[in-house]
Structure 1
Amino acid sequence: MSEKLKINVRSFSYKKGIPEDKSGNGGGFAFDCRGILNPGRIEEFKTQTGRDKGVIDYLESQTRMPEFIKSAVSIVEISVEDYLARNFTNLEVNFGCTGGQHRSVYAADYMANHLKNKYPQAEVNVEHVVQESKNWINKPY
């Protein structure tokens, strides 16, 4: 029996660099969320993350995040389906923004949840590099 496709989805801060692919395959996707309006510039959202309702509502209704994430999903699905067909074992999907707190967290959670639901034959893991470095409790998405 072949090994499951492991999909690692991460949020990160471009200030700290794109996360390393520890699988040894090198590469994967790095989506730049900095083109989406930053909720971190709005006082009420500064201490929140992309998992908080106010930030989610803002990103989904006041920015082009829905269009951005739909495009990212379409691109990633092409690789997931190809990797599954060819029995590949690793895919990296990274979302970066300025601080790794709002836009990238939202996008990584959205992507991980989507992939987990659409491709149950794959193992999907989500990591929020900046938030976890602050001992953030990474509740399941």
Structure 2
Amino acid sequence: MAKLNINVRSFSYKNGGIPADPTGNGGGFAFDCRGVLNPGRIQEYKTQTGRDEAVKHYLETETKMLDFLNGVYQIIDISIEDYLNRGFENLEINFGCTGGQHRSVYSADATAKHIEEKFPEAQVTIQHVIQEAKNWINEGY
């Protein structure tokens, strides 16, 4: 049985929109993080990303980000379980926000961790479209 490959990406609605599905299946999930308060509007966080500790703390304590992600996990877990049982090979999970820097980066990282912990039999690839276009090194989260 082929391994399920799950691509988790962050992107910017303002700069490029929802990324195309490179697998050719033309589907998957796109979650809009813009309903969560934007740390990018706070001066001290403007140059940081969703991987910086101060931004993560803000998102976890001052916003509804954790509630948002719990809802995401409930939805994606259904598909992941089904895809694993049916031998599917690919699933796309995308997170967008205004600039692709804070909320979507945090959400993509948290979701990749969730999947790796709950579904170790799946292969997770993470990409941060906007940050990587800026020559950002996408190291471990």
Letter in 1 for 2:10: S
Q: CA RMSD in A?
A: 0.5
Measured in 2, the distance between the counterparts of 1:84 and 1:60 equals 30
Per the TM alignment, residue 47 of structure 1 is displaced from its structure 2 partner at its CA by 0.2
Letter in 2 for 1:17: G
Instruction: Tell me the TM-score normalised to structure 2 length.
Output: 0.98
Per the TM alignment, residue 140 of structure 1 is displaced from its structure 2 partner at its CA by 1.3
Measured in 2, the distance between the counterparts of 1:120 and 1:72 equals 18
- SS of residue matched to 2:100: coil
Per the TM alignment, residue 117 of structure 1 is displaced from its structure 2 partner at its CA by 1.2
- SS of residue matched to 2:125: strand
Measured in 1, the distance between the counterparts of 2:43 and 2:82 equals 43
Task: Provide the residue aligned with 1:14 in structure 2.
Answer: 13
Per the TM alignment, residue 110 of structure 1 is displaced from its structure 2 partner at its CA by 0.2
The 5-angstrom pairing of residues 1-141 of structure 1 reads 2-15=1-14, 16-141=16-141
Measured in 1, the distance between the counterparts of 2:135 and 2:73 equals 29
Residues 116-136 of structure 1 deviation map (CA, whole Å, 9 limit, x = unaligned): 111111000100000000000
Letter in 2 for 1:5: L
Letter in 2 for 1:12: F
Instruction: Tell me the TM-score normalised to structure 1 length.
Output: 0.98
Measured in 1, the distance between the counterparts of 2:23 and 2:132 equals 20
Measured in 1, the distance between the counterparts of 2:112 and 2:82 equals 18
Residues 89-125 of structure 1 deviation map (CA, whole Å, 9 limit, x = unaligned): 0000000000000000000000001101111110001
Measured in 2, the distance between the counterparts of 1:73 and 1:131 equals 24
Per the TM alignment, residue 21 of structure 1 is displaced from its structure 2 partner at its CA by 0.3
Letter in 1 for 2:75: I
Measured in 2, the distance between the counterparts of 1:136 and 1:92 equals 22
Measured in 2, the distance between the counterparts of 1:113 and 1:126 equals 10
Residues 44-89 of structure 1 deviation map (CA, whole Å, 9 limit, x = unaligned): 0000000000000000000000100000011000000000000000
- SS of residue matched to 2:104: helix
Per the TM alignment, residue 11 of structure 1 is displaced from its structure 2 partner at its CA by 0.2
Measured in 1, the distance between the counterparts of 2:74 and 2:50 equals 21
Measured in 1, the distance between the counterparts of 2:140 and 2:20 equals 22
* Ranges of 4+ aligned residues in structure 1 off by more than 6 Å: none
